Amino acid sequence: MAHNDKILAASQKHPLVPLERGQLYKYGTAGFRMRADLLEGVAFRVGLLAALRSRKLNSQAIGVMITASHNPAVDNGVKIVDPMGEMLEQDWERLATALVNCPTHEDLVEVYNKLVAELKIDLTIPAKVIYGRDTRPSGHTLVTALADALVAADTEYVDYKILTTPQLHYLVRATNTEGTPSSYGKVSEVGYYEKIASAFVRAMKGRKIDGTLTVDCANGVGGPKLHEFLKYIPKDKVAFDVKVVNDDVLRPEVLNLDCGADFVKTKQRAPPIPKPQPGARTCSFDGDADRLIYYWVDPQTGFFMLDGDRISSLAASFIGDLIESAGLKDDMRIGVVQTAYANGASTNYISQHLKLKVICTPTGVKHLHHVAQGFDIGVYFEANGHGTVLFSPDALNAFRDTKPQSPAQKDALDTLAALGDLINQTVGDALSDMLMVEVILAHKNWTLRDWAMTYTDLPNRLVRVEVADKDLFETTDAERRLSKPSGAQEEIDEAVKKYKDARSFARASGTENACRVYAEAATRSEANELADRVVRVIERYGSSQ
């Protein structure tokens, strides 16, 4: 059967569900993400695109992850991972959107062939796609549709079954660097555990971890994977007492329900189950284990959260000190990348106290990742806890090849080299970021309270505002100012002027018909008041069409 006929026949088994009111499926920051029952045809078409991407990039392996991260259990998503474990190249997001929205099976084959011609893709060269999924029951149907597309497009594939999102990113990079000097690790889930566990032991250097760490796994894939990972840490090298909670993957309906990193960040409180223990060091993953938030509950002062901004400043401070001790300060450019949602106090602490360069980008990890790659060491975290630290090849070589002149310098170089292996360079990874935090706290001999004392957050508030048409709202200056509708930004500026240490901005949501308003000021009541004023501005402009 010819290539086109195979695609046509396979597509008919996985029809596309038309969206209401003629809306289009859009490839966004998280790929295609929505109610799972809309995604079967989408997953099939994404499989075709992933095969084309692999052929366009000379048969390198492309990844596909089936997950909806922190969304409720009824949702799912499909996203493509590029060869080095990074997000899909932006130009191809448009191609994904075009291919997925073909109204008929015949149109699909036609657009597929048009892409082949436009991109000058040789269909006779091999293609390879690897994929995984989180614990959602709908994942099975979507993976079946994806595999059918890969078979129809004559593409070799590997199904890694259930994985965290960062594990799939790891596997994509490991597959494409296998047998080269820049090999990222063994091409297996076990290879991921071995690499990180070995780096953790090297980075700890026999230091003690204080007390028990409680990890809330959002009843998602992070639970079983964390249990599995812990088996790889040799007890005689590092005594690491971890209590895993919210790790029920057998009842799909409890995924992300009143637990997980997104719940903790947005509700600003600990998950109600299990009952928070006063003073316990606790962290939360999200449903696909790529976000991390730390916190504790104090009997006197209540809940205290250490979010992505805090993790970012902790990592930047520690790595900056190590670079100095390693004698590499003059050779290494260290930068911290944030979004407009980063607390103003964290930005001031990093730029004024740590004396490090801070760059602000639009929301979305792909933007932060890209800018972080411009530094020898680029630290990036969104406030929601999604982020990582990128080390350039030159930096990794320097940690390995610099000849130490003293035991202290050797110690710093060894620790930096271990961190380079411990921190997942491909994408934010809750498991490896958690280990990084534990290493830093152990080296500094800090409690969460010591960490919290580095600076005081400015009170802030984030509000979701429903609008008639979110596309009326356009932004500039890394999403910190509205360019449209005309006049709205001037009104926000007027409101901000009335409060001390204040800033506020609004932007359209990437996933729903709403705007998000962020406000920050010197006191809690002023931050709330400012948020309310800006919400009223957005409501007024959002309804006047």
Binding site listing = 69, 286, 288, 290, 382-384, 507-511, 516
**Is 11 among the residues known to form the active site?**
no
With b for 16 or more beta-carbon neighbours within 10 A and e for fewer, the 516-535 pattern comes to bbbbbbeeeebbbbbbebbb
**3-state secondary structure string, 392-425?**
CHHHHHHHHHCCCCCHHHHHHHHHHHHHHHHCCC
Residues 427 and 432: their CA atoms lie apart, in Å, by 10
With beta carbons less than 8 A apart as the criterion, state whether 44 and 149 touch: yes
Residues 104 and 120: their CA atoms lie apart, in Å, by 24
Residues 11 and 63: their CA atoms lie apart, in Å, by 21
Q: Which residue has the tokens 């990036």?
A: 380
> For residue 34, what are its two tokens?
């929505």
> For residue 92, what are its two tokens?
């191809």
Give every CB contact of residue 370 below 8 A, 6+ residues apart in sequence. Answer: 361
Task: Report helix, strand or coil for 467.
Answer: coil
Identified catalytic residue from 11, 54, 59, 69? 69
With beta carbons less than 8 A apart as the criterion, state whether 126 and 61 touch: no
387 membership: H or E segment, kind and range: strand 387-391
With beta carbons less than 8 A apart as the criterion, state whether 35 and 18 touch: no
Residue positions in the annotated binding site for Mg(2+)?
69, 286, 288, 290
Q: Which residue has the tokens 């999102």?
A: 165
Q: Cβ–Cβ contacts within 10 Å for residue 165, how many? A: 31
Is residue 488 packed enough to be buried (19+ CB in 10 Å), middle (13-18) or exposed (0-12)? buried
Q: What DSSP string runs through 72-114? A: -TTEEEEEEE-TTSPBPPHHHHHHHHHHHT-SSHHHHHHHHHH
Chain centroid to Cα 213, Å, comes to 22
Q: What DSSP string runs through 172-224? A: HHHHHHTTSTT--S-SSHHHHHHHHHHHHHHHHTTPPP-S-EEEE-TTSTHHH
With b for 16 or more beta-carbon neighbours within 10 A and e for fewer, the 249-263 pattern comes to beeeebbbbebbbbb
Residues 317 and 541: their CA atoms lie apart, in Å, by 42
User: What positions carry a catalytic annotation?
Assistant: 69
